Amino acid sequence: MAEKTQRIGIFDSGLGGTTVLKEMIKSLPNEDYIYYGDNGNFPYGSGKTKNELQKLTERILDFFVKNNCKLVIVACNTASTAAIDYLREKFSLPIIGIIEAGVKIASKTTKNKNIAVISTKFTAESHGYKNKAKMLDSELNVKEIACIEFAQMIESGWDTFDNRKELLNKYLSEIPKNADTLVLGCTHYPLIRKDIEKNIKIKVVDPAVEIVERATQTLSSLNLLNDKKEKGRIIFFVTGETYHFKPTAEKFLGKEIEIYRIPK
CB 36 within 8 A of CB 11: yes
Catalytic residue among 186, 196, 208, 219: 186
* 187 appears as a binding residue in the annotation: yes
* 80 appears as a binding residue in the annotation: no
* 218 appears as a binding residue in the annotation: no
* 37 appears as a binding residue in the annotation: no
Q: How many CB atoms lie within 10 A of CB 5?
A: 14
CB 75 within 8 A of CB 22: no
What is the spatial distance between Cα 175 and Cα 169, in angstroms, rounded to a whole number? 10
Active-site annotation holds for 69: no
Main-chain dihedrals φ then ψ at residue 223, nearest 5 degrees? 55, 45
What is the spatial distance between Cα 244 and Cα 255, in angstroms, rounded to a whole number? 15
H-helix or E-strand containing 143?
Answer: strand 141-146
* 188 appears as a binding residue in the annotation: yes
Catalytic residue among 20, 72, 75, 76: 76
* 45 appears as a binding residue in the annotation: yes
What is the spatial distance between Cα 252 and Cα 112, in angstroms, rounded to a whole number? 34
Active-site annotation holds for 147: no
* 254 appears as a binding residue in the annotation: no
Q: Give the residue ranges of the annotated binding site for substrate.
A: 12-13, 44-45, 77-78, 187-188
Residues known to be catalytic: 76, 186
